[in-house]
Amino acid sequence: MTENSLAFQTITSARQWHTSSYTHEEAACVEVSEGPVTGVRDSKNRDLGALFFPAAEWAAFVRAARQEQI
């Protein structure tokens, strides 16, 4: 295991992740870990890693996505 992969495992496992309320057995959804830096990962492929965004950027994305649904 490389130093980078060990650091990644430590960062992602120490976070509290939650899935979308739309997630169910057949769905391919995301998990989110909110905080000063928001993490996003695939709920079906957690080992592939996560993307991390500043909280303000994630909040702007969520606002824009909600507006698109209206």
| Residue from 44, 19, 21 nearest 32 by CA | 19
DSSP letter for 43, please: S
What is this structure's pTM?
0.65
Report the pLDDT value the prediction gives residue 53, as an integer from 0 to 100.
93
CB of 21 within 8 A of CB of 41?
A: no
Q: 5-60 pLDDT, tens per residue?
A: 444 444 555 678 888 776 666 666 889 998 889 999 988 888 888 999 999 999 99
User: Hey, where are the domains in the chain?
Assistant: 3-69
